[in-house]
Structure 1
Amino acid sequence: MKKYFILLFLAAMAFTGCSSDYTILDSVGNVTLTADKSNQIIGNAITFTVKDDKGTDVTQETIFYVDGVAIDGNTFTSETMGTFAVNADYSGVKSESLTVTFGDGSEINFVKRVLVEDYTGTWCGYCPRVAYAIEQLHLQTENFVPVAIHRPSSNVSSINYDPYNYDTSELENIIDIPGYPKGMLNRMTQWKFPEPNNVDKAVALTQGENPKLGLALTPVVSGGTINLSVNVNFSKDFTGLKLVVYVLENGLIYEQHNYTTYYGGVDVIEDYEHNHVLRAVLTPLLGEAISGTETVINNTFTKSFNVSVPENVINYSKLEFVAFVVDADGKALNVRKAAAGDVQEFEIQ
């Protein structure tokens, strides 16, 4: 009888053991290691992420190694300049190595854009020539910012009347180039005539020596108020810089005289769409000085604006904002545009 009960007990144990649940872990074939930055300024952090071959983030279960030494967590900071090899190990599966570099900031380059200021007028029959050149420039590069400065009269009785006229005579007196149209590159260089045949002159200004400063804008338009933050970051020391900030409007419909062969050679072009039209300047037209204590390597200068939407604006949803930095000679060094709601970061190359 005792043997019988022992056999029943063993059978019950065997049944219970066989009915237990087991979790079978999926095998991982490989993992991918990435860094949020490949170049960083000393004293600042680089963050690493690891995903398995199914795209699942396994960062928290991963051990990271920098130059073969395990680190705590998934961020790394160096106080010395240099290049470091980074590896990751997730449950025995090792990543490919990547390298990150820490420097003093002087090696940082920014996307370089050219500012194109088109002095124009709805009454001006030759002005579509520059507008057409800007369209051709758009086919060659995205690294430019156009601004349409309508001139020269708000007097409805004038033959030069323009409903979008904005007085920039202070700047035009310095440029000292009479008549319209005139296309100005980076404020102080005249776009060679005929502009549509010299698009390469504008493209060339997006190349070559890096400006060593970049801009990032964060504009918000709400309830008739503009809140705009303009940030400028420097990767070398500067002196004598100024900031200029424009408010533009797109989608303005008004007739355009046209004496050119462009746009079908039609005069007048009815219901012409005028874009990038200058509506207000939030700084002095020639720029607001930036303190030399701000324009130093690794520093970010911030200028904030809280202003009412200009009364001449027709459609708040069509607003556009442009900020650029000029040197002591008034030349634009770099420029950036943004629409309401954009939250920009610096464009580091």
Structure 2
Amino acid sequence: MKKSLLFAGLCLGAINLASAQIFSENFNGVPLTGGTGVLPAGWAQYNVDGLTPASATSYMGTSAWVVRAQSGNNVATSTSWYNPAGVSNDWMVTPAITIPNTGNPYLRFKEMAFEAAYADGYRVFISTTGNTVADFTNPPVLTVAAANATGLTTKLVNLSGNMGQTIYIAFQNNSNDKNLLFIDDVEVVDLPAYDARLNSINLPRYGVVNTNTSMILNVSNDGSQAITSLTIDWNDGAAHSATISGLNIAPGASANVTHTTPVNYSTVEEKTINVNITQVNANTDAVPANNTGTSRFNSTSSAPDKGVLIEEGTGTWCGWCPRGAIAMEYMYDTYGSQGFIGIAVHNQDPMTVSAYDNAANFGGYPSCNVDRTILDASVSQGLFEQYFAARKDLPVPASITIAPTISGQDITIPVSAQFVTKFAAANFRLAVVVVEDDVTGTSSGYNQTNYYAGNANGPMGGYESKPDPVPAADMVYDHVGRALLGGYNGQTGSVPAAISDGQTASYTFNYTVPATSDMAQIKLVALLIDQADGSVVNAKEVKAQGGVAVEEKDENAFSFNIYPNPSTDFLNVSLENNSNVNTLTVVDMNGKVVYTREISGSENLLSVPVSQLSKGNYLISVSGAAASYTKVFVKN
């Protein structure tokens, strides 16, 4: 097994300030050098094992614990990954803390193991005599065999037995050849008896009329008494209050609670739903400020089919990326007729579209974005199935149609979204991703690095029988993202803000397929993107040649030609039937707009200065209110 080397993607929460604090430390005030810092003043650490950290955790040096930066927060970090392997015996001790004689004192902190397969455990001790290892003679007050690897998890220790005392609290990593342990937000607090905290509202964004949609609330117990019942109101203009009994949420724990009144509308509605926990165990909640949340919900008149988009980050340099290629083929073979859509977003190889690669923002390879909602997720055949199953039946606000037509190397791509709900002020956009199958190349950049060669990491769809690297002559790449029409976030103005049930929003994209691509292998993926969160709410994929080849153009359509191409100083743009054209834009392959200008209806020939541009490929687009045309030119 290979331990994960990444130190990224943690969701680090802030300290809960609702309870009366006796002591607190979130490590965010620690200055860092090279991403690593020492424990705050007054804290002690003891490297009892004296072992040498593995190269991946060499930043530990000889320290038992360090502070590391992640996602704008700091965490105290310890390792049990040594070379040679061994058992950790690393201690971190708080300053002296005086516990009051009154109240409900608790130790509260957050813990997390970096990797589930190598989850570090730990013990917590209390001393009333000093802060050295020898002072912690009493049994541990908390023992955790393996910390939670899915996210920072709150732990509580009752300190009522230490009231009136001055104590030291020690965290000991006692793991045998694991990975990393994180401790954060260490507090001693006076907990109220009843304090429920609403963490999140799990309510699908859309639901079909006359259909029950469950509302699931994630609730934490920040009080000292176990939660056995909650009274919760959700309000959309009318109150829907219910008491949910039979709960058992221990202090410091969290649980999902389903409201007994589902969301259900008999007509198409657009609603803002406010949720409030009004009572805990039939008592008033001591901290009402953390009891509320808001969610949006639209009922739909019907249930359009949903396409599930998985954009996979890959690269020919990535030895683990054959796993993604095999998973993608399996999904198309198994679920291609059921709405699965896959796009390979290449990184640092000849098939890279930098604007796509940069916007997708993958943290490692292979990884994937699912409907741009589940971000930077892991890649495997089984995981792809899970992602698809979780999203394929979600209600959506609109269906999508895409009907391309071809004239030579030019593709006209009308895209429509047929809405089945209403919005007073929506912010959707349409976009098209051009995709190509059966891509090959002869340069070394098309060689595929293969960590599965020789069955070194188990079977992988035949890659275990191929060499490392697989020569370019033996590689064929499918589902390759080639161009973004409308940009990564979609075409501005392609969907109106006010939308009624049954309304259709349409936009026509145009694209010239480069001579180096094969029209027979081109696919087009239409996207409906919600700008509120960047999510792809629906997607549709078609073959370009599934449309109709045409020779005559729509009399209302506009077109343009560019010459010379390649160009050195000026690029000439010849416009035809341009009364509906208003903007010309040049974009580099990183997605940066390097030139733009407005176009009047009387202009038929434009000269675009390109001498100032760096050598390379660029996209030039002319667009209007209902359509856009895009071509590629080369700057010499």
1:186 to partner: Cα distance = 0.7
User: Hey, what does 2:332 align to over in structure 1?
Assistant: 138
Residue among 520, 545, 550 paired with 1:317: 520
Match of 1:224 in 2: 409
1:148 aligns with 2:344: yes
Contact 2:315 2:347 in 1 (8 A): yes
Superposition deviation, residue 227 in structure 1: 0.9
1-structure distance, mates of 2:392, 2:357: 30
Q: Which residue of 2 aligns with 1:268?
A: 469
Distance verdict in 2 for CA 1:112–1:149, change over 3 Å: same
Structure 2 unaligned segments of length 5 or more: list them: 1-266, 268-298, 442-446, 453-458, 549-636
> 1:337: Cα distance to partner?
0.7
Residue deviations 1:40-90, cap 9 Å, x none?
Answer: xxxxxxxxxxxxxxxxxxxxxxxxxxxxxxxxxxxxxxxxx9xxxxxxxxx
List per-residue Cα deviations over 1:233-282 (Å, max 9, x = no partner).
Answer: 11012411122211111111243221134123222334221111111111
Q: Give unpaired runs (5+ residues) of structure 1.
A: 1-80, 82-104, 153-161, 345-349
Q: CA deviation at 1:110?
A: 1.1
- In the alignment, the residues of structure 2 paired with residue 291 and residue 203 of structure 1 have an alpha-carbon distance, to the nearest angstrom, of 27
Cα deviation for residue 291 of structure 1 reads: 3.8
Whose relative contact order is higher, 1 or 2, with alpha carbons under 8 Å and at least 6 apart?
1
Of 506, 509, 512, which residue of structure 2 is paired with 1:302? 506
Does the 8 Å contact 1:130/1:183 carry over to 2?
Answer: no
**Structure 1 residues 325 and 120, CA gap change in structure 2 (3 angstroms):** same
2:435 counterpart of 1:236? no
User: Aligned AA for 1:235?
Assistant: V
Match of 1:258 among 450, 455, 460: 450
Greater helix share, structure number: 1
Residues of 2 paired with 1:248 and 1:208: CA distance? 25
- For the aligned residue pairs, the C-alpha RMSD in angstroms reads 2.5
**Deviation string, structure 1 residues 171-211 (Cα, Å, up to 9, x no partner):** 13xx4x42322121112314743522323322224434311
Q: How many Å separate the matches in 1 of 2:301 and 2:498? A: 19
1:288 aligns with 2:473: no
Deviations 1:94-128 (A, max 9, x none): xxxxxxxxxxx943211111101011112211111
Q: Distance in 1 between matches of 2:394 and 2:534?
A: 18
Letter in structure 2 aligned against 1:117: E
CA gap 1:106/1:322 in 2 versus in 1, 3 angstroms:
same
Pairing 1:171–2:372 present: no
Q: Give the letter for the 2:469 counterpart.
A: V
Does the aligned pair in 1 maintain the 2:343–2:480 contact within 8 Å? yes
- Write the distance in 2 (CA, Å) between the matches of 1:259 and 1:214: 41
**Alpha-carbon offset, residue 147 of structure 1:** 0.7
**Secondary structure in structure 1 of the residue aligned to 2:411:** strand
User: Is the Cα–Cα contact under 8 Å of residues 433 and 526 in structure 2 kept in the other structure?
Assistant: yes
* Structure 1 CA distance for aligned equivalents of residues 342 and 379 of structure 2: 17
Query: Residue 170 and residue 198 in structure 1: after superposition, are their counterparts in 2 closer, same or farther (change >3 A)?
Result: closer
Where does 1:1-349 land on structure 2 (aligned, <5 Å)?
106-142=300-336, 143-152=339-348, 162-167=349-354, 168-172=356-360, 175=361, 177-190=362-375, 192-238=377-423, 239-254=426-441, 255-260=447-452, 261-262=459-460, 263-265=462-464, 266=466, 267-270=468-471, 271-289=474-492, 290-293=494-497, 295-310=499-514, 313-327=516-530, 328-342=532-546
After superposition, the Cα gap between the structure-2 partners of 1:247 and 1:232, relative to the gap in structure 1 and judged at 3 Å, is same
Structure 1 equivalent of residue 270 of structure 2: none
Query: For residues 376 and 357 of structure 2, what CA distance do their matches in structure 1 show?
Result: 19
Residues 123-145 of structure 1, C-alpha deviation per residue, up to 9 Å, x if partnerless?
21111111122223235423111
| Identity across matched positions, percent | 27
Give the TM-score normalised by the residue count of structure 1: 0.59
Which deviates further from its counterpart, 227-236 or 163-172?
163-172
CA deviation profile, 1:300-327 (whole Å, cap 9, x unmatched): 111112332246x421221111111111
Mapped to 2, the partners of 1:194 and 1:235 lie a distance apart of 33
Alpha-carbon distance in 2 for matches of 1:183, 1:140:
19
